[in-house]
Amino acid sequence: MSNKMWGGRFETGPDAIMEEINVSIGFDQRLYAQDIAGSKAHASMLAAKGIIDKADAEKIAAGLDTILSEIEGGQFTFQRALEDIHMNVESRLAQLIGASAGRLHTARSRNDQVATDFRLYVRDTLDTLDAQIRDLQKALTEKALHYSGTVMPGFTHLQTAQPVTFGHHLMAYVEMLGRDRGRLRDARARLNECPLGAAALAGTSFPIDRFATATALGFDRPTANSLDSVSDRDFVLETLAAASICAMHLSRFAEEIVIWTSPLVGLIKLSDRFTTGSSIMPQKRNPDAAELVRAKIGRIAGAFNGLLMVMKGLALAYAKDMQEDKEGAFDAFSTLSLMIAATAGMVRDMVPNEKKMKEAAGQGYSTATDLADWLVRVLGLPFREAHHVTGRIVGLASDREIPLHKLKLEEMQGVEPRITKEVFGVLSVSKSVASRVSYGGTAPKNVRAQAKRWLKQLAKEG
């Protein structure tokens, strides 16, 4: 038996394998709210333009509200034979209100319908992700403000470079996440055009009002080209690209948490809430939440690349290949949401070992640059010469296996006679970070100012 929703030309039903590869209700049912909202807006517009009777439009709206309640109440039966969310809703609508349901699909196609539904879904997802990232920024900023003066080692090449503060380090991620939110907001602004009314690919001969449906659904405007309207999935790709970058930032932070919590490093501690144990080694405390955050970017970047491969060879307009746009995207968005929530939880949970951080900050001759700067600032040496002098002094300290500030003044003067005892004032890690007062630098007063600025901004957005 052919599909009663579209099978007028067909005499028999699809093969079981055809049904298996074609059906999408198993995953696109999550578009139910968006599908019903789009249908209500479409029916209202059709009635306003006199294309269908107002009585039919009222029946359609009431029936769709009933279906929404049934789905949300867990009383709706999704049927695989009806393929997708659109046909499942329309079939149930016919059961509820009879022949009037058949007027709903006037002047539209599943092509523009699914494009509209998916844009609505991605738009809702973007709003949720933005709120989540904002919460993570708040958690990071509050922690940064509290530890604005806590000294820790800063790294390049994962080698001790210069002392920074823990607050400054955390604020770096606040900036990254701010750019992530900007990319997601840009994606939202570009997707906020309504494809409904583009029909299958060429538009419609009915005198519809696409601006009315766009407004009703919260879009800025209708899409301007019917071919583009039904064949575009740029909005999904752009969102997945932005999501991948955000996930990459979270993965980098998770890697640092894994390193910091290692007993060999021991810069921070996570509680039982965000760690797990071993089935055989009772002493273990594993940072599994961080490790999983670190790993999950693969699913998000994979979804982006997967859809890119689907779209790369499609001639205009719609092709069934585009049904593959949803499963990966749904999973990617859910995965990113979970990553953000887990990261925010770890940030609020983590406690730094301030003593160990300060000790580590002084290792590896991290104040060598401060010595070079002092030679330039006080003795007037060209920086390249100061760099060379400092390197020789570091070599002396390294040979004796002592920190810079433990060298005797006479030993330093053996390299550069004009060095005075005042040099010891720049060789401590605390004075090093306090001196980094350039805009964006790690000085505690800078960190406090930036944190307060961000908290004020985040509060305004909330």
- List the catalytic residues: 157, 278
In sequence order, which residues have a C-beta less than 8 Å from that of residue 69 and are 6 or more positions away? none
Give the CB-side neighbour count of residue 399, counting CA atoms within 13 A. 8
Query: 3-class SS at 258?
Result: helix
**CA 368, CA 415: separation in Å to the nearest integer?**
15
**CA 68, CA 77: separation in Å to the nearest integer?**
12
**Buried/exposed 317-339: b ≥16 CB within 10 Å, e otherwise:** bbeeebbbbbbbbbebbebbbeb
Indicate the burial class of 72 (C-beta count within 10 angstroms; 0-12, 13-18, 19 or more): exposed
- In the DSSP assignment, the letter for residue 421 is G
Q: Count other C-beta atoms under 10 Å from residue 95's C-beta.
A: 10
User: 91 pairs with which residues across the strands?
Assistant: none
One-letter amino acid of 39? S
Contact 278, 332 (CB under 8 A): no
For strands 268-269 and 351-352, give the pairing: antiparallel
